[in-house]
Structure 1
Amino acid sequence: MQTLYRRLLRFMPRLGLQVTDLGPGAAVVSRRGGPYEVTDGPAGTKLLSRPGRRLRVTGLDKDTWLLRRAEDDGTGAAARGKPGPATKGVVPLGDTGALLLIEDPEGLDERKMQLSAAEYLCVQHVTAMLGLYGVNCVFDVGANTGQYAKRLRRAGYTGRIVSFEPTSETFARLSKAAEKDPEWRVYQCGLGREETTAEIHKSWLTMNSLLPPSDYGKGRYSRFAKSDTEEIRIRRLDEVMDEAMEGLADPVPYLKMDTQGYDLEVFAGAGKRAGEFAGMQSEVACLRLYEGSPTMGESVAVYEAEGFGITGMYPVTREATTGRVIEFDCVMMRAEAAPEPPAKP
C-alpha cells in the first residue's frame, strides 16, 4: 500500500511540479528544471545536476570537496560523483589549514603564478601589519588609479587612505574610484625632496616616472620608446602630513611608495617626520629601469638608518628568460612602534 507521502509525490506533476526522488523519506520538488539527475556524493551525500550536466568532485582534504561541472572523462568518475584522492593541483600550505587549488598544474606558467602569489601575499602581510601596529592612515604615494587602495579595502583595512597621483588623466580616474569612500582622500601632486614643479614622463601605462628610462629599461619595455610629458606640482611629504591626517585623534601613519625610481626622493621629503611612520613600503630595484634611480641596497640602507626593519620582500617583476627579479616590494616596520605584548600571568 502506498503511503500518503508517496501518493502526494505522484500527484504533484499534475500541478506542474517536477519531483526528483532521492530515496526513502527524501525528494526535491521544483517548479522548473527538474527532474534532476541524482548521483551518490561523498560522505553519504546526494548530488543533483540538470540532465546532461555532469559533476566532477575533487577531494581537497578529508572533510572538503570541490564540485565542478565537467563532462565524463571516460572513467565514469564525473558521472558517479565519487571524490577521488587529492590531486597534485591541491597544495596544502604548511599547517595553516589553507589549500592552494591549481586548475591545470601541467599548463602552469611558473613565473606568472609566483608573481600573482607574491602580490596576494604582500597585501595580506601589509594588512596584518597595519592591524598589529594600529595604523589608521595609509599614505599611498604613486597611487595611479587606486589599485593599491582597493586591494587594502578588499583585504579588510578600514582606516584612512591618502592617495597621491600627479598626472591629470590618471588622477581623474583615481578621484572617481575614491568618490564613494569617505575615508579615502586624494591629492593631485607628486611628492619629492622639495616644493617645485617638474616634467613627468607619462603614457607608460602604470609606469609614469619623473626619471628617464635606462638603457636596460628601454630594452625591456617597448613603451619607453616614446612618451608624452606633463608639468606637475611636487610637494614635500612633511608639508602635507598634518592636512592629510586632520581629524584623527591619535594618528598612526604608514607610508607606501611606488614612484618608478623616485621613492628615495619622496622619503627625503618626510624629513624628521619620517620617524612618525610605524611602517613603510617601497618598490626597490635589483635591475634599474630608470636613469639615476637607486639600487635596492642603497634604498634599504637609507630606510634602515631611519629605524625601519624588513618584514617582507615580494617580487614585483621577473625576467622570463633568466628568472632574475627586477623589483621587489619591500615592507618595513619600526619595531619600537609595535604594541607592548600583554604581560604573562
Structure 2
Amino acid sequence: METLYRRLLKVMPRLGVQVTDLGPGTAVVSRRGGHARIPLQPGADLLARGTGRYSVTRAGKGTWVVLDKKAHKAAQTPGKWTDVRLGDTGAHLLMTEDAKADERRFQLAAGEYLCAQHVAGMLAAYEVNCVFDVGANAGQYAKRLRRFGYTGRIVSFEPTADAFARLERAAADDPEWQVHHFALGREETTQSIHTGWNSMNSLLPPSDYGRGRYKRFAKSQTEEIEIRRLDGVIEKALDGIADPRPYLKMDTQGFDLEVFAGGGERIADFVGLQSEVAALRLYEGSPEMSEAIAVYEGSGFGITGMYPVTREESTGRVVEFDCVMMRAEAATAKG
C-alpha cells in the first residue's frame, strides 16, 4: 500500500513544486527549477539546482572541484586543476595553471592567508583578550581577525576622516570592537598626514624609491590629525578586562617605531606584537627592517613569523614583511 508520504510527493509537482526524492522519508522541495543529483563518490552526492548549472571536475584522488558554470568559464576548463597535499596536515591546496604561472601573486596571497592564520593561532595560544589595531584604515585587519575566530576585544585607531568613517560603520554592530579617531605616536601633538594614497596614507613623505614604485605618491593632500601616546590610552582600552593580555598590531606606513616608543614602560604589558617592517624603504625617515626588529627584540619579543606583504615584480625582492613577535615568557607564565 502506498504511503501518504509517497502520495504527497506525486501530488506536489502538479502544484508547481519541484520534488527531489532522496530516499525513504527524505526529499528536497523547491518552488523554482528542477534539481539534479550528481554523484561525487560513494556516500557523497552534490544536489544542484538545474541540470546544467554546475560542473564537477576531478582534481586528484578523492578530490573534486564543483563550480558554477559562469565561474567555471572564467576560471579553467576541466582537468586544469592540481591537488597539492600539504604535508600530513590533512589539508589540500587546489591550484590552477594560472595560479602556478603567476608565482608572485600566488605567494603574496598565500602569505596573507598564512599570516592571518598564524596570528589567530598565537592569539589563542597566548590567550590574548585585547588587540590594539593601530593604523586600522577601514577595519580590514579587525574583520580578518573575526573571520579567523578571534572573539575578544579589538581597539582600533585610525586618524584620517574618510577611513575612520568606514571603520566606524564596520564596527557598528560589534560590541567588542572599539574605534578611536586619532593616531598613536611618540608625542601628544597634532601633525599633517599625507592622504589620497588609499591604505598607504602616511605621516612621512615618500622616499625616492617609493615615488619610483607607486604612482599614487606623485599627488598628495594633507589632513591635520591628532596624535596621542599609547601609554595614555591603555587603561581605557583595557577597562573591564580582569586579566588583560593585550597584543599590539601596527601598520602605520613607516611610523611603527614611533607608536612603539609611545608605549613607554607599558610595552611590557603586551604579550605580542605585529609590525610591518621594510626591507626596501617606501617612506623617508622610516627605520630599516634590522633597526625595527632590534628594538622589538630589545624589549623582549621574539620572531614567530615573517610574511611578505609586497614584492618587486621584476626582481622578486620583498619590499615589506609582516613581522609577528611574541614574548616567550608570557607563554611560559600561562603554564
TM range (shorter): 0.7 to 0.9
Three-state SS of the structure 2 residue aligned to 1:97 is coil
Alpha-carbon contact 2:60-2:82 (below 8 Å) kept: no
After TM superposition, give the deviation of residue 66 of structure 1 in Å: 3.3
After TM superposition, give the deviation of residue 280 of structure 1 in Å: 0.3
Query: Structure 2 counterpart of 1:43, which letter?
Result: P
Corresponding residue number in structure 1 for 2:41: 42
* Residues 241-299 of structure 1, C-alpha deviations (whole Å, 9 max, x = no match): 11111111111111010110011111111111111110000000000000011111010
Alpha-carbon contact 1:286-1:326 (below 8 Å) kept: yes
**2:225 pairs with 232, 235, 240, which one?**
232
Corresponding residue number in structure 2 for 1:55: 55
Distance 1:17 1:116, change over 3 A: closer
Task: Please identify, of 146-155 and 108-117, the stretch whose mean Cα deviation from structure 2 is larger.
Answer: 108-117
Distance 1:29 1:290, change over 3 A: closer
* Residues 191-221 of structure 1, C-alpha deviations (whole Å, 9 max, x = no match): 1111111111111111111110000000011
Distance 1:41 1:211, change over 3 A: closer
Distance 1:259 1:65, change over 3 A: same
After TM superposition, give the deviation of residue 327 of structure 1 in Å: 0.2
**2:241 pairs with 234, 242, 248, which one?**
248
TM-score, normalised with respect to structure 1: 0.83
Q: Percent identity?
A: 61
Alpha-carbon contact 1:122-1:314 (below 8 Å) kept: yes
Three-state SS of the structure 2 residue aligned to 1:206 is helix
Alpha-carbon contact 2:81-2:94 (below 8 Å) kept: no
* Residues 276-334 of structure 1, C-alpha deviations (whole Å, 9 max, x = no match): 11000000000000001111101001100111000000000011111000000000000
Three-state SS of the structure 2 residue aligned to 1:327 is strand
Query: Structure 1 counterpart of 2:165, which letter?
Result: A
Corresponding residue number in structure 1 for 2:311: 318
Residues 1-345 of structure 1 aligned to structure 2 (within 5 Å): 12=11, 41-43=40-42, 50-53=50-53, 55-62=55-62, 64-69=63-68, 89-105=82-98, 108-339=101-332
After TM superposition, give the deviation of residue 190 of structure 1 in Å: 1.1
Number of aligned residues = 326
After TM superposition, give the deviation of residue 189 of structure 1 in Å: 1.2
* Residues 128-151 of structure 1, C-alpha deviations (whole Å, 9 max, x = no match): 111111111111111111111110
TM-score, normalised with respect to structure 2: 0.86
Task: Please identify, of 41-50 and 218-227, the stretch whose mean Cα deviation from structure 2 is larger.
Answer: 41-50
Alpha-carbon contact 2:231-2:264 (below 8 Å) kept: yes
The CA RMSD measured in Å over matched residues stands at 3.1
Three-state SS of the structure 1 residue aligned to 2:286 is coil
Task: Please identify, of 143-152 and 28-37, the stretch whose mean Cα deviation from structure 2 is larger.
Answer: 28-37
Aligned mates of 2:9, 2:293 — CA distance in 1: 76
Three-state SS of the structure 2 residue aligned to 1:128 is helix
Three-state SS of the structure 2 residue aligned to 1:275 is helix
Task: Please identify, of 322-331 and 185-194, the stretch whose mean Cα deviation from structure 2 is larger.
Answer: 185-194
Alpha-carbon contact 1:309-1:334 (below 8 Å) kept: yes
| Unmatched runs of 5 consecutive residues or more in structure 1 | 79-83
